[in-house]
Amino acid sequence: MILVTGGAGFIGANFVLDWLNGNGEGVINLDKLTYAGNLQTLASLESDPRHVFVQGDIGDRELVSRLLQEYQVRAVINFAAESHVDRSIHGPGEFIQTNVVGTFNLLEAVRAYWNALEGEAKAAFRFLHVSTDEVYGTLSATDAPFSESNRYEPNSPYSASKAASDHLVRAWHHTYGLPVLTTNCSNNYGPYHFPEKLIPLVILNALAGKPLPIYGDGQQIRDWLYVKDHCSAIRTVLAQGRLGETYNVGGWNEKANLDVVHTICSILDTLRPKADGTGYAEQITYVQDRPGHDRRYAIDARKLERELGWKPAETFESGIRKTVQWYLDNQDWVSNVTSGNYRQWLEQHYGNKA
Ligand code: NAD
Ligand code: TYD
């Protein structure tokens, strides 16, 4: 079996669903179920014996050691993290706890397990760490996209905590020989994305007749990748990646935030026109900028294509259309997720920005 951490979150859950769709191999899914973890996403697996869900913390060494032993795990894929930049600005403590201390404890449990393996099982074992392009910092308009040899220059508490975890993973390979792989991916979007992040927030606010908040001038650039393409990249790296290497993952889809929001509005204008005849773009509202807001991210994904033959299947245009349609078709999931905790966050974060 494989052990997936954070498999009830946005990317982890998409990964688990895709994995079990195309593969007979079972998954142990270890997730703490923070505000970002949602078991409803995995409802289709409820009676699937190949999926074992365990609520717990990656920092709980005893629990992780027991799971590794009990299920004779052959690979660990580490998605578990605090992942939202704005939350990391309001409260960085949890980011250090999970992303840094949690990853350290996970690595130690995995190292002890791997040390005790023998022969083929030891040689075949893999630890794949899922990370972000944000560790490289920010680019100017004319800089080349981030390659794997760029310096780490994280600017937010989130990216600093992810950078620290990447360094731990690297050191556990160089010092202890742990068979690790690291992926650094650009911004993901797609089904089951928690609506605190730009794309799902804009889709749902538009439909609810609420303001579409643009930070600063809206000219910050992100490099968007459809989540299923990220999942296929992770499967490729897990199967064929060279030990100790890092692979940048991206879709060559650089877009300014304002353009992303206009694209969503025009898709909604076609799929769900407003009764009063106005366009969704009229809901766009400029709000106070994020402190330390990185101006541009862009990923050079040529190493992954050259060495392992991976390419994304979706363009931004095809992926964003599918995503908007998914949110229109899955109102149950949406209303469940927009209750409770999430509402309090909206009030706290946007309440004093307007
Ligand atoms: P997410 O916030 O949607 O999900 C994170 C999941 O981890 C949640 O289910 C949460 O309950 C779980 N979790 C949090 N702390 C935990 C702990 N201590 N122990 C066990 N589980 C815990 O995040 P996501 O967007 O799915 O991102 C997954 C990974 O991919 C993260 O490591 C993130 O840094 C990385 N990444 C994300 C993006 C993106 O655009 N979302 C891009 C590149 C890389
Ligand atoms: P986000 O989805 O939070 O991802 P990240 O910060 O990891 O890139 O934000 C994407 C971009 O959209 C980022 O430049 C911040 C911006 N943004 C807004 O303009 N308004 C919003 O309400 C949010 C959540 C983000």
- pLDDT score recorded for residue 24: 80
The set of catalytic residues is: 133-134, 158
Ligand 1 near 223 CB (within 6 A): no
Pick the atom of ligand 1 nearest to 35's CA: 11
Higher pLDDT, 116 or 344: 116
Instruction: State the average pLDDT over residues 92-110.
Output: 98
| CATH topology assigned to domain 2-190+225-252+296-313 | Rossmann fold (3.40.50)
pLDDT for 343 equals 62
CB-based contact 31:9 (threshold 8 Å): yes
Q: pLDDT of 273-325, one tens digit each?
A: 999 999 999 999 999 999 999 999 999 999 999 999 999 999 999 999 999 99
Is the per-residue pLDDT at 345 higher than 80? no
The pLDDT assigned to 351 comes to 77
Ligand nearest the Cα of residue 30 is: 1
Q: Which atom of ligand 2 is nearest to the CA of 202?
A: 22
User: Cα–Cα distances in Å, from 126 out to 56, 78, 107, 162, 298?
Assistant: 21, 11, 12, 20, 28
Q: How far apart are CA 30 and CA 48, in angstroms?
A: 16
Atom of ligand 2 nearest to the CA of 222: 8
Look at residue 354 and tell me whether its pLDDT is greater than 60. Answer: no
**Position 266 confidence tier, pLDDT thresholds 50, 70, 90:** very high
Distances in Å between the Cα of 212 and the Cα atoms of 209, 260, 295, 354 are 9, 12, 20, 11
Distance of CA 171 to the CA centre of its chain: 23
198 lines ligand 2 (CB under 6 A): yes
**What pLDDT does residue 169 have?**
99
Q: What is the pLDDT of residues 34-84, one digit of tens each?
A: 999 999 999 999 999 999 999 999 999 999 999 999 999 999 999 999 999
Q: What pLDDT is attached to residue 299?
A: 98
Tell how far the Cα of 257 is from the centroid of ligand 1, in angstroms: 22
> How much distance in Å is there from the Cα of 197 to the middle of ligand 2?
6
What is the whole-number distance in angstroms between the Cα of residue 68 and the centre of ligand 2? 36
The pLDDT tens digits for 22-47 are 988 999 999 999 999 999 999 999 99
**Ligand 2 closest atom vs CA 156:** 6
CA quadruple 160, 165, 169, 175: dihedral sign: positive
Q: Exposed/middle/buried for 214, CB within 10 Å: 0-12, 13-18, 19+? A: buried
Dihedrals φ, ψ of 183, to 5°? -115, 140
- Give the model's pLDDT for residue 340: 63
The ligand with the least distance to the CA atom of 40 is 1
C-alpha 9 – ligand 2 centre gap (Å): 18
15 close to 4: Cβ distance less than 8 angstroms: yes
| Per-residue pLDDT at 341 | 61
pLDDT digits (tens, 9 = 90+) for 154-209: 999 999 999 999 999 999 999 999 999 999 999 999 999 999 999 999 999 999 99
Give the integer Cα–Cα distance in Å for 307 and 13.
Answer: 27
Q: Where are the domains of the chain?
A: 2-190+225-252+296-313
Give the pLDDT confidence score for residue 114 in this predicted structure.
98
* CB of residue 75 inside a 6 A radius of ligand 1: no
